[in-house]
Amino acid sequence: MRAKTRSVLAAAGLAVAVGCSSGSHAKPSPPGVSSTAAAIANGQSIFQTGRDSDGSQIIAKPPALYPKCAACHRVDGSGGLHLPGGAVSADLRYKALVTEQKPPYTLALLERAISTGIDNTGQPLNPVMPRWRLSKRDLHDVAYYVLTKLK
């Protein structure tokens, strides 16, 4: 493997590894501006732990049944969990969200679904899927993580 590729991978790994758990120290980049590696690290943290890379717990209105995406969609995004009221969590992997959907989910459609509960076809999702109140950056980063990292 060439040196350049290795260092990019190392940087991405580092961004995940140094994720802040206390939330007390300053952000590395200004609000709304993040490198791709930082965006993915933040999105992964939100998806798997329910906390962004500043350590803030994500919230939904009304309050979510579980505080993190992975609790309902599984860490790999495969979903299929049976939840109260007959809801079944969606498969969020690329094939299910993009290849097999009409219209395919885009970043913008994912951001809309996550924040307003309106799906790619314009229909409301089951209310068990929380309507998340996220900052612009967190919304972007978790949608970007789902779209690009769940295979």
Interacting residues with ligand HEC (CB under 6 A): 46, 64-66, 69, 71-73, 83, 87, 89-90, 92, 97, 110, 113-114, 119-120, 125-126, 128-130, 132, 142, 146
Between CA 46 and CA 51 the distance in angstroms is 5
User: Minimum distance between the CB of residue 29 and ligand HEC, rounded to whole angstroms?
Assistant: 21
Q: Are 42 and 141 in contact (CB under 8 A)?
A: yes
**Residue 119 CB neighbours (<10 A):** 18
Q: How far is CA 61 from CA 22, 28, 115, 130, 132, in A?
A: 24, 29, 10, 7, 7
Between CA 49 and CA 33 the distance in angstroms is 22
Please identify, using beta-carbon distances, which residue of 34 and 51 lies nearer to ligand HEC.
51
User: Minimum distance between the CB of residue 78 and ligand HEC, rounded to whole angstroms?
Assistant: 12
Q: Are 96 and 109 in contact (CB under 8 A)?
A: no
Please identify, using beta-carbon distances, which residue of 15 and 91 lies nearer to ligand HEC.
91
User: Minimum distance between the CB of residue 15 and ligand HEC, rounded to whole angstroms?
Assistant: 19
Please identify, using beta-carbon distances, which residue of 38 and 90 lies nearer to ligand HEC.
90
* Residue 103 preceded by cis peptide, ω within 30: yes
User: Minimum distance between the CB of residue 71 and ligand HEC, rounded to whole angstroms?
Assistant: 5
Please identify, using beta-carbon distances, which residue of 15 and 51 lies nearer to ligand HEC.
51
